[in-house]
């Protein structure tokens, strides 16, 4: 502690019967720059106190004649010195009893010999500073008394001036009222401006949501030819293992990118309030099976041990099967990605308190405790150790929102980084009288090849057009290609294909217009029309249906989805031929 800098030096009384100690005290305390006055006995100390004022007394306990305790008692018995601080110094009387005795006599501190210079200097410096502050306070009190006197004198003058000031104040208030009225007008204009700004902000937010939807749609267009190209490669014999590996990498990443685009679209729909659920009674086993199927490639990629425990697969939930599969599949995929290779993932399903609980537990990188509350925030990505998060940070936020739309909730538990995590999805059980919807697995042809068909493909994106055409040609279908809606209609009228895959957003004539014109012709009544679009919301599907389309596929459509259309066409044709055969001449007459 640096020494105090008072207005003038203060006196410090040093009392000890040994000159050497007095000299050491003077040496130690000399840095403080104060007046150091020495006394070699208690009596001499009392004499010096009577002659002058002291900031404090440094008093030895063991002195001949009158010891330190007696001296202290006499000092504090005098009214003038009763508040003078005393620091006892001793090398003998150092017991707790001695200390208690010293404090009862009014000592403020107790220092043992040998004295540590820094400690003694610090203690004395503090007391000197307190003394200076008390002295300054006394001066301040005197100044305050003088100020009070001046204030009293000024009060009389103030009374005389108050009347004049009140009159001036009234005039000022009148001017202020005028200014206030002007301010109110300005405020009203500002409120109107803020209202316009708020409307502009809402419009900007709406445009942002529309931009997200358009962005997701535009991303789907380049994904379609890439996926088609990969599917073509998968049907060709490739000798080079590096090329096969590269093809598989592209396939996996296209699937991942498609999933991100789907999440982006779903978030856009949620923020705009346009997302809807197609609810029906579904079995827990169906949800579980489809979620496992969707996430199995990711689990396999990381070589995890994957265990499933479902006590009753017949438990019923009233919900949207696609959305529930999306939620559970997302949690399983996240567990796989955030668990080091060769980890373990456990999926458990149980009925608990009129609810179904899906639990996805892993032994992965875990989640820090302070990160748990923000885990479900939109665009929140939680780091754990050196593992960098992937994705857009919307998967968990989307999952919770979808579950909440089903009147359920998603919870997370983790003991910390490196200790794994567990996600719990709680959904209410369906009513006892609910019956499962008609959910059928896709027909794989029942052992028969899909017959080769005449197929029309229309798309203004050359890569999408050529890749899809080549993919279907590899399967043996006869393909007709059109670069716009007008050309598609003309080729359809000339070639009369069995099925037409039409892109919606084409120049000259849109897919909707082409479909409507085809359906208006007698030869187009039985043609199977399939819409291909980057837009896949419910209203988009309804618009396709209104235009005459039989199916609506969202880009990038998988080969399985395309082939399923052709398989359904095959079954439809076989059924029609059987009807004609059974009706004989009647059918021919028609």
pLDDT tens track for 527-550? 999 999 877 777 888 999 999 999
The predicted-structure confidence for 216-263, as pLDDT tens digits, reads as follows: 667 777 777 787 787 778 777 788 887 878 877 787 777 767 777 777
Q: Is the pLDDT of residue 447 over 50?
A: no
pLDDT grade, residue 436 (50/70/90)? Answer: low
Domain ranges of the chain: 11-115, 281-428, 454-589
Q: Which of left, alpha, beta for 473 (phi over 0: left; psi -120 to 50: alpha)?
A: alpha
Q: How high is the pLDDT of residue 428?
A: 94
What integer pLDDT is reported at residue 335 of this predicted model?
92
The CATH architecture of the domain made up of 11-115 is 3-Layer(aba) Sandwich (3.40)
Please tell me the predicted confidence (pLDDT) of residue 468. 87
**Residue 208's closest CA among 379, 396, 460?**
379
In this prediction, residue 274 carries a pLDDT of: 66
Non-local (6+) Cβ contacts of 287 within 8 A are 317, 321, 324, 325, 328
3-state secondary structure of 406: coil
Q: What is the mean pLDDT of residues 387-393?
A: 52
Least reliable range by pLDDT among 49-63, 362-376, 566-580: 566-580
Which pairing describes strands 528-533 and 478-482: parallel, antiparallel, or unpaired?
unpaired
- Lowest-confidence pick of 43-57, 129-143, 510-524, 566-580: 566-580
**Residues 364 and 339 sit within 8 Å (Cβ to Cβ):** yes
Range in 159-173, 182-196, 518-532 the model is least confident about: 159-173
Would residue 508 be called left, alpha or beta, if left means φ above 0 and alpha means ψ between -120 and 50 degrees?
Answer: left
Closest CA to 351 of 317, 328, 322: 317
Q: How far is CA 8 from the centre of its chain?
A: 62
Q: Regarding beta strands 421-428 and 86-90, do their DSSP bridges make them parallel or antiparallel, or are they unpaired? A: unpaired
State yes or no: pLDDT of 509 exceeds 90. Answer: yes
Instruction: Give the helix ranges, DSSP H, for 363-416.
Output: 395-405
3-state secondary structure at position 384: strand
Q: Tell whether domain 454-589 is in CATH 3.40.50.2300.
A: yes
Tally of residues, the chain: 590
CA distance 576 to 500: 19
Determine how many CB atoms are found less than 10 A away from the CB of residue 282: 24
Contact 43, 84 (CB under 8 A): no
For 59, how many CA atoms within 13 A lie in the half-sphere containing its CB?
33
pLDDT at 116 over 70: yes
Residues 329-385 have pLDDT tens digits of 989 988 998 999 999 999 999 999 899 999 999 999 998 888 888 888 766 665 544
pLDDT at 578: 30
Rounded-to-integer distance, Cα 406 and Cα 403, Å: 5
- 281-428 CATH choice from 3.90.1150.10, 3.90.25.10, 3.30.565.10, 3.40.605.10: 3.30.565.10
Percent of the chain with pLDDT over 70: 85
Q: Do domains 11-115 and 281-428 have the same CATH topology?
A: no
**Mean pLDDT along residues 467-495:** 91
Residue 445 to residue 449: CA distance in whole angstroms: 6
End-to-end CA distance of the chain: give it in Å, rounded.
114
Q: What is the pLDDT of residue 93?
A: 61
């Amino acid at each position: 502690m640096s020494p105090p800098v008072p207005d003038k030096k203060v006196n410090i009384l040093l009392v000890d019967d040994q000159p050497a100690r007095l000299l050491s005290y003077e040496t130690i305390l000399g840095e403080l720059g104060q007046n150091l006055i020495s006394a070699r006995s208690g009596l001499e100390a009392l004499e010096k106190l009577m002659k002058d004022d002291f900031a404090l007394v440094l008093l030895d306990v063991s002195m001949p004649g009158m010891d330190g305790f007696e001296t202290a008692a006499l000092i504090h018995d005098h009214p003038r010195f009763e508040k003078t601080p005393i620091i006892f110094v001793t090398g003998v009387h150092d017991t707790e009893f001695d200390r208690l005795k010293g404090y009862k006599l009014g000592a403020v501190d107790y220092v043992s010999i040998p004295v540590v210079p820094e400690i003694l200097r610090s203690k004395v410096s503090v007391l000197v500073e307190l003394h200076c502050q008390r002295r300054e306070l006394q001066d301040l009190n005197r100044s305050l008394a003088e100020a009070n006197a001046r204030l009293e004198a000024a009060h009389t003058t103030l009374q005389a001036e108050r009347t004049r000031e009140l009159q001036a104040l009234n005039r000022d208030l009148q001017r202020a009222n005028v200014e206030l009225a002007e301010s109110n007008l300005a405020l009203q204009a500002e409120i109107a401006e803020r209202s316009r700004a708020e409307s502009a902000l809402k419009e900007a937010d709406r445009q942002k949501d529309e931009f997200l939807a358009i962005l997701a749609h535009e991303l789907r267009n380049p994904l379609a030819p890439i996926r088609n190209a990969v599917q073509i490669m998968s049907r060709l014999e490739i000798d080079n293992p590096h090329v096969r590996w590269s093809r598989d990498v592209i396939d996996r990443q296209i699937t991942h990118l498609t999933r991100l685009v789907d999440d982006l679209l779903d978030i856009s729909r949620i923020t705009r309030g346009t997302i809807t659920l197609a609810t029906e009674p579904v079995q827990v086993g169906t949800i579980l099976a489809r979620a496992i199927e969707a996430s199995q490639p990711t689990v396999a990629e990381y070589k995890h041990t994957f265990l499933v425990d479902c006590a009753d697969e017949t438990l019923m939930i009233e919900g949207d099967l696609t959305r529930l599969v999306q939620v559970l599949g997302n949690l399983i995929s996240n567990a796989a990605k955030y668990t080091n290779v060769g980890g373990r993932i456990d999926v458990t399903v149980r009925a608990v308190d009129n609810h179904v609980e899906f639990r996805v537990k892993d032994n992965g990188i875990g989640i820090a405790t302070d990160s748990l509350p923000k885990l479900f925030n939109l665009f929140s990505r939680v780091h754990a150790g050196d593992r960098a998060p992937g994705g857009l940070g919307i998967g968990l936020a989307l999952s919770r929102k979808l579950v909440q739309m089903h009147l359920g909730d998603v919870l997370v538990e983790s003991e910390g980084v490196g200790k794994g995590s567990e996600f719990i999805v709680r959904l209410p059980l369906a009513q006892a009288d609910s019956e499962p919807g008609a959910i059928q697995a896709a027909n794989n042809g029942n052992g028969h090849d899909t017959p080769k068909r005449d197929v029309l493909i229309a798309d203004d994106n050359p890569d999408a057009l050529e890749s899809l055409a080549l993919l279907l040609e590899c399967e043996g279908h006869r393909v007709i290609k059109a670069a716009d809606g007008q050309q598609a209609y003309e080729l359809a009228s000339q070639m009369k294909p069995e099925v037409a895959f039409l892109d919606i957003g084409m120049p000259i004539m849109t897919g909707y217009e082409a479909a409507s014109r085809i359906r208006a012709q007698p030869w187009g009544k039985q043609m199977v029309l399939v819409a291909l679009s980057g837009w896949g919301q419910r209203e988009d599907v309804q618009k396709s249906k209104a235009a005459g389309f039989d199916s609506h596929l969202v880009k990038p459509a998988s080969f399985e989805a395309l082939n399923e259309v052709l398989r359904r066409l095959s079954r439809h044709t076989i059924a029609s031929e059987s009807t004609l055969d059974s009706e004989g001449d009647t059918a021919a007459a028609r």
